[in-house]
Amino acid sequence: MPNVESLQEAQLIILVILSTTDWRLADPFRRQLAIWTSSNFTSTELVKHRAQGMKQFLDQVQDALCPKLVDRLLLQLGRSHTRPDGITRTRNAINTLLNEIDGLQSEAVASAQISQRRLTEIEEAASENGFSKTTGEFPLQLFSAINYEDTPLEPFVLRISNLRKGELTDVEMVQRAANERESYAEAISNTVGHLLLGDVFQKCEVRDIFAPNATADWSALKEEANAIEERGQTPVLVLDNPTRPDWVWEWEYPTSQDGTYPRPPDLVIHHEEGRGGTYVADFNAIQVFSGAVVPGQSLLFARETFSLVTFRKYRDNIFVRAGTSAVAGSTTLVDLQLTFERRVQVEHNQIVRIRYQVAPTSGGENGDILRGTRKWVGSHC
């Protein structure tokens, strides 16, 4: 059975034939559109969708809308206007309808209040994954302990700019993304992981080693890892990318027995389960991960450095607070602010930065350890 959209061409032909004069929106129809806009936004969207489909069809065919059929019907029905006149009037009528709907929707969104229920839904979604060892991003799994308390800690605000206000109203005035919940969970989880890595490293002292080739890199890794193990700790290596440096990738996945970078004879590589998506492998006793490290370097430290992270708990299982702020010059856009609070404690504050591309300069600033630490997507409060 044909649906409304499949009859679109026939509907337009009828409108063209009936377009003896310019169309105008009747007052009862205007009132109905206003009612739908304020109480049942999806009905207005349906009308808008149909009108946009008709407009797109007319834009494609221009004046060639079934020329022989339309001209014959105009003649047989004794219409005084031409086919191009009818198409122009129909197109103008559709544009008038779309403008009316856009105006009503803009007014409705501007006067609508942000829904606390919607903000609560976003808080729940954003809190879903990022605050536990099992679901959170690296380096949460490295911490010896995670605590939760309801007292103020150091806040961080992730700002999502220019969000359509209609996504945050009780009546859904803008279509929401089908994966909205997953998107908020992923955004916060990624931000928490990146921020915690920076928090810990800012509390640490950095020592530089230049290892521009496979031999120097493995020699440095062995020596520094042995020193960590001698202190009764577990060495952890964070790569800037699972495939870099080139020799690390070839050590793990050798292309041949005599490849460009043959695996060192004293290197045993194995894989453990349950260490998260950024886990690469174990190189002897060194647990290897990839993270937001500046390209051209790797970081080696004791796992026990990551002692304790504490998150603020706003309510049961809620670790994010959602709020909004106005966007200058707009009544239909807002900035969404997602706030979480944390505090980290470290046990051993020594990090070895192994540079394989750029030789270290004196000083070795901590600010150059992680990608993005100078250009956060959010801000500290």
In DSSP notation, 54-84 reads HHHHHHHHTT-SSHHHHHHHHHHTT--S-HH
pLDDT of residue 365: 44
pLDDT computed for residue 362 by the predictor: 43
Least confident of 48-57, 192-201, 284-293, 350-359: 350-359
According to the model, what pLDDT value does residue 218 have?
A: 96
pLDDT at 211: 94
Rounded Cα gap, residues 101 and 33, in angstroms: 7
Phi-psi group of 276: left, alpha or beta (phi > 0 → left; psi -120 to 50 → alpha; rest → beta): left
Distance CA 341, CA 150 (A): 10
Model-wide pTM > 0.85: no
Of the given ranges (121-135, 252-266, 366-380), which has the lowest mean pLDDT? 366-380
Mean pLDDT of 287-315: 95
Mean pLDDT of the chain: 89
Q: What is the mean pLDDT of residues 207-220?
A: 95
The conformation of residue 23, written as its DSSP 8-state character, comes to -
Between 5 and 367, where is the model more confident? 5
Categorize the per-residue pLDDT at 228 as very low, low, confident or very high, splitting at 50, 70 and 90: very high
Instruction: State how far the Cα of 127 lies from the Cα of 125, in Å rounded to an integer.
Output: 5
pLDDT digits (tens, 9 = 90+) for 130-184: 999 999 999 999 999 999 999 999 999 999 999 999 899 888 888 888 899 999 9
Look at residue 111 in the predicted model and tell me its pLDDT: 84
pLDDT-based confidence at 316, cuts 50/70/90?
A: very high
Lowest mean pLDDT among 39-48, 132-141, 371-380: 371-380
Tell me the C-alpha distance between 74 and 67, whole Å: 11
CB 96 within 8 A of CB 23: yes
* CB 301 within 8 Å of CB 293: no
Count helices and strands in the chain by DSSP H and E runs: 9, 13
